[in-house]
Amino acid sequence: MRVGMRGLVVAGALIVACQDARDARASRTTDSLAEASKGVAARVAAAGGWRDSVTGFSVPAVCARGGLPVPRKPARVETAPKSHADSVKRAKADSMHMVGASADTAHVVAAWRDSSGGAAHADSAATRADTSVTAAPRSPRAAHADSVARAKAKVHADSLAAIALLTDSAATHRRAGSLFPGCRVVAYYGNPMSKRMGILGEIKPDSMLERLAKQAAAYAAVDSGRPALPALELIATVAQAGPGKSGLYRARMPDTLIARVMGWAESHHYLVILDIQTGRSTMAAEMVPLMKYLARPYVHLALDPEFSIGTKKIPGKVIGRIDAADVNAVSAVLATLVDSLKLPPKMLIVHRFTTPMLSNHQKIKLDPRVQIVVDMDGFGPPRLKYGSYKAYVHDRPVQFAGFKLFYKNDKPMLSPAQVMEMDPVPLFIMYQ
């Protein structure tokens, strides 16, 4: 007994020590990023304030109005794929080499039910599901089928409840210039230095930009009341299989390359998203050289946990991960930047295709100055896509939903109409 108690005490101490270390790292990350944010704000102020270089470009006012969309059809109930198999397939197919380079549904719904009218609606949904079962005796198989049907109806009702909660919250705290929920962002992903990393670098710029415009228009046609804003998601920090000069297994893209992609976006009034693959570096360190770009109203940020692999692993050999504390630290800096430079809210995208890639999602703090998207970016046939989306977005909601499609690896690739049937309906769509 004494040995058992001693073991529990030691285990408890280790857990506390690990949590303290995580909190300390999060604090250091926040401090480093805050200093970078202040530096950018000071330089912009010294230059006489920020002047948007995209003449005539602004986020449509309708983007900050309206509510979250409801699925066009009842949501499919799919089983999630085995995360290990999904992860291995994704890691093998997602190239990171450069050319020439060596909130749980339960806690959301509980909060919603506590608000006025929530409990009545939820109870009525449950009652409707229960009244579908007759009092006549049932065989065990029929009883099981009824139980499954009630569970599915409850999941769908809870999902609609979560949508209602987020809509009400957004309407109360929504800021001018917000992208969501009144608009949808349709992005092309990649890097001009590699044809294997995504559509952004796979074809000539003029063709790529024209194709993106048509792809965004396809979503606007399906959801005619919601403008679709094209965006270019550039991998600005690229994970590498080798240590490189820095020893951090990542390559920072030169300013000339970032400026080139931003020029493409500016000429067409598109949004820009800078994507970070940290390798053995940190988000704080990799955000510093990007702060001057994030100071622009139309530039947003994406985090790729797949390549956040700590200080001892190698990108591509393991699937990386981040914690809610990491997301909160980055979000806090973006919020400070928004206030300092009087910018419209920033979009912060977190890519995800396994459960461990984002831990403690329910602890992510929401802020009207930063709109957080969790983007399901696994590839494969529709069955796998639906299952992954349910497991990583539907069952673990944070704020806004994102969905990634692959022109080459999704066979067959879902159409915009099919994507609009998903629950929750994605407001961020990305193509690779």
Same domain for 376 and 243: yes
Interval 43-66: pLDDT, tens: 555 544 444 445 557 888 889 888
Same domain for 247 and 121: no
Residue 105 DSSP label = H
- Asked whether residue 358 carries a pLDDT value surpassing 90, the answer given is yes
Q: Which domain holds residue 292?
A: 61-103+175-431
Here the tokens at position 191 are: 């890097």
Same domain for 377 and 422: yes
Here the tokens at position 33 are: 């990023």
Count other Cβ atoms within 10 Å, centred on residue 261. 23
- Asked whether residue 98 carries a pLDDT value surpassing 50, the answer given is no
Distant-in-sequence, close-in-space partners of 240: CB < 8 Å, separation ≥ 6? 96, 97, 98, 101, 249, 250, 251, 279, 315
Same domain for 156 and 99: no
Instruction: Please report, in angstroms and rounded to a whole number, the separation of the first and last CA atoms in the chain.
Output: 57
H-helix segments, 132-254: 140-173, 199-202, 205-222
- Of the listed ranges 221-235, 243-257, 304-318, the least confidently predicted one is 304-318
C-alpha angle 386-411-77 in degrees, rounded to nearest 5? 15
**How much is the pLDDT for 121?**
33
Spatial distance between the Cα atoms of 139 and 144, rounded to a whole number of angstroms: 9
User: What is the domain count for the chain?
Assistant: 2
Same domain for 376 and 320: yes
Spatial contact of 271 and 118, defined as CB atoms under 8 Å apart: no
Regarding pTM above 0.75, the answer is no
CATH of residue 363's domain is 3.20.20
- Asked whether residue 120 carries a pLDDT value surpassing 90, the answer given is no
Same domain for 160 and 294: no
Interval 173-183: pLDDT, tens: 789 899 999 99
Q: Say if 232 falls within a structural domain.
A: yes
